[in-house]
């Protein structure tokens, strides 16, 4: 079958699937403290509906699937979906992004179901500051979740993601860099993007990857590791050989020209960019009995219209139509 190519010649290989808009944290850079309305249960795609769309996309060359949310581990029976997707022909890389708070219980069933890669979000190793940023006192549970994940050698690499915010993250950098040296975790810093529900983002709040790298190199020199062209992260090893650090710099070094990603929201809308203002409804055709060919045609049409790039750094930038937890980061 023909590969999926967008209107700018980029091949689409990667799908982020949001399985819920709900979350047990309220991270400041993502959700409001309260007041976000949840989707109704029947608005969520079922596991079978998600698996059907993944089958259609995998036949067109989408071989990398990442589950996300909201917090994906609050979706009941998630390992059932992981198994369905792990068994889908063409899916070579199945991963999960989580805040880690339920991982101590779920790592084992997820690995048994076929999960092979894991990203855990962690912004601070201080209890007080962790609670300040997530609005939940749950650092110990996240660390316990990471320890539990470490017990499964199948789950590698384990990536730890930290959103880099000026005025907050600078003091966290040494401890997070040490974590990358001490543990089998790749610690990655992601520049803060204007996807917070509170809409408080300002350009000055972005702590760039280059600034964090300079902070780390005051103590530990880094060496760049060549990465895949479609990779969102620049990878570095510590020059003395202990551990790996990554930088995801969507604001200071946009990587849109090599973007191979699309996103499926929990309510079955296809988004061709994190910053899309338009969504493509897949749930209605799925529920109205669309054939594989009809779904394929709809997907190809939507992807032909994928945005060239985000416009965060341009005058008149307009925010996305939903915030991060509702899209699926």
216 near ligand SAM, rule: CB under 6 A: no
CA–CA dist 200, 193 (Å, integer): 10
CA–CA dist 22, 17 (Å, integer): 14
- Identify whether the C-beta of residue 185 lies closer than 8 Å to the C-beta of residue 146: yes
What is the DSSP-derived secondary structure letter of residue 100?
A: S
69 near ligand SAM, rule: CB under 6 A: yes
Q: Which of 50, 149, 190, 282 binds ligand SAM (CB under 6 A)?
A: 190
* Site stretch for ligand SAM (CB under 6 A), options 94-102, 167-175, 260-268, 289-297: 94-102
Please give the structure tokens belonging to residue 240.
Answer: 């003395």
Phi, psi for residue 196 in degrees, rounded to 5: -75, 135
The residues, ordered by sequence, that sit 6+ positions from 142 with a Cβ below 8 Å of its Cβ are 99, 100, 101, 103, 120, 122, 130
Q: How many residues does the chain have?
A: 329
69 near ligand SF4, rule: CB under 6 A: yes
Residue 127, number of CB atoms within 10 A of its CB? 12
Helices (H), 199-261: 209-217
* Site stretch for ligand SF4 (CB under 6 A), options 38-46, 65-73, 74-82, 292-300: 65-73
How many residues bind ligand SAM (CB under 6 A)? The answer is 20
* Contacts with ligand SF4, 92-111, as mask; x by CB under 6 A: -------x------------
* Site stretch for ligand SAM (CB under 6 A), options 43-51, 185-193, 252-260, 284-292: 185-193
121 near ligand SAM, rule: CB under 6 A: yes
The residues, ordered by sequence, that sit 6+ positions from 254 with a Cβ below 8 Å of its Cβ are 309, 310, 312, 313
Residue 74 or residue 256: which is nearer to ligand SF4 going by CB?
Answer: 74
Q: Which of 21, 172, 196, 205 binds ligand SAM (CB under 6 A)?
A: 196
Q: Cβ 9 to ligand SAM, closest distance in Å?
A: 27
Residues that bind ligand SF4 (CB under 6 A): 23, 25-27, 30-31, 69-71, 99, 121, 324-325
């Amino acid at each position: 079958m023909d590969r999926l190519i967008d209107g700018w010649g980029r091949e689409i290989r990667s799908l982020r699937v949001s399985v819920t808009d709900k979350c047990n944290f309220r991270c400041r850079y993502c959700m409001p403290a309260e007041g976000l309305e949840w989707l109704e249960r029947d608005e969520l795609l079922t596991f079978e509906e998600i698996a059907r769309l993944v089958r259609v996309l995998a036949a067109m060359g989408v071989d990398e699937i990442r589950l996300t949310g909201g917090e994906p581990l609050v979706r009941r029976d998630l390992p059932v979906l992981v198994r369905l997707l792990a068994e889908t022909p063409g899916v070579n890389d199945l991963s999960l992004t989580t805040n880690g708070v339920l991982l101590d219980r779920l790592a084992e069933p997820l690995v048994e179901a076929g999960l092979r890669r894991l990203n855990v979000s962690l912004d601070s190793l201080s209890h007080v500051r962790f609670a300040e940023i997530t609005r939940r006192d749950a650092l110990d549970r996240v660390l316990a979740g990471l320890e539990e994940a470490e017990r499964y050698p199948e789950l590698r690499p384990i990536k730890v993601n930290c959103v880099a915010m000026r005025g907050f993250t600078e003091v966290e950098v040494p401890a997070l860099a040490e974590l990358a040296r001490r543990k089998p975790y790749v610690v990655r810093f992601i520049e803060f993007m204007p996807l917070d529900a509170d809409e408080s983002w300002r350009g000055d709040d972005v702590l760039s990857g280059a600034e964090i790298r300079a902070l780390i190199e005051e103590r530990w020199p880094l060496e760049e590791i060549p990465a895949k062209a479609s990779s969102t992260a620049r990878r570095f090893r510590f020059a003395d050989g202990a551990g790996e650090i990554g930088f995801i710099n969507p604001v200071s070094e946009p990587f849109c020209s090599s973007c191979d990603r699309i996103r499926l929201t929990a309510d079955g809308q296809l988004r061709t960019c994190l910053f899309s203002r338009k969504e493509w409804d897949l749930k209605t055709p799925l529920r109205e009995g669309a054939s594989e060919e009809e779904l394929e045609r709809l997907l190809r049409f939507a992807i032909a219209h994928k945005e060239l790039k985000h416009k965060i750094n341009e005058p008149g930038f307009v925010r996305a139509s939903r915030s991060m937890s509702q899209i699926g980061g």
